[in-house]
Amino acid sequence: MEIDVLPVGLLETNCYLITCPRTREAALIDPGWDDPSILEAIRKREASVKIILLTHAHFDHIGGVSAMIRATGAPLALHKDDLPLLRVKGWADMWNIPIPPCPDPDRFLEPDETLEIGSLRLKVLFTPGHTPGHVSFYEAEHGVLFDGDVLFKQGVGRTDIPGGDAAQLLDSIRRVLFALPDEVIVYPGHGPATTIGEEKRLNPWVQA
């Protein structure tokens, strides 16, 4: 698996390009801004983007969606419970952030379904709390998790924005993410990567 980490936009949201080295098929996760670095990474990898995946629909994760759809022709996928959030541009107007509206997704993601990207297998994990329809993407063979704004390096996603639920967020972390092996690498929506084991030991927000 080839992973490009592309911090984009006002909040340096981590957009991820994940590419199958055998087929060059790729998925683009959370294109939060129309940033030239995204298209440059696709070009350098000689990747064919087969799908654009959203962990959730806050403005800093969807700002580049429309541009990336135009550039790649790839379909957009989101959990249905975040569709209302997508349609209000992820509260961008509430923060006076100018982003273009997103089209409705081409398909809805289902919990526990597996997405095939070349030889890669991304399992959809339902991890609500930061938003009602938040999902994470787990690739078991390579031991990596793309978890949006659920679990950060010694932090967790905020729940004070409309639609957030602190108890639900902690349940998603403890019940879903912490069920994964300790060595799984966590690629979050902001900041550096970490591991499940490290967060079990050191994250002060999720200690019992």
pLDDT at 208 over 80: no
DSSP 6-75: EEETTTTEEEEEEE-TTT-EEEEE---S--HHHHHHHHHHT-EEEEEE-S---HHHHTTHHHHHHHH---
Residues 69-109: tens digit of each pLDDT:
999 999 999 999 999 999 999 999 888 898 999 999 999 99
CATH of the domain at 185: 3.60.15.10
Domain count, the chain: 1
Q: What is the percent of the chain where pLDDT is above 70?
A: 100
- Beta strands at 144-146 and 151-152: parallel, antiparallel or unpaired: unpaired
Claim: this prediction has a pTM higher than 0.85: yes
Over 70: is that where the pLDDT of 35 sits?
yes
Residue 11: which domain range?
2-206
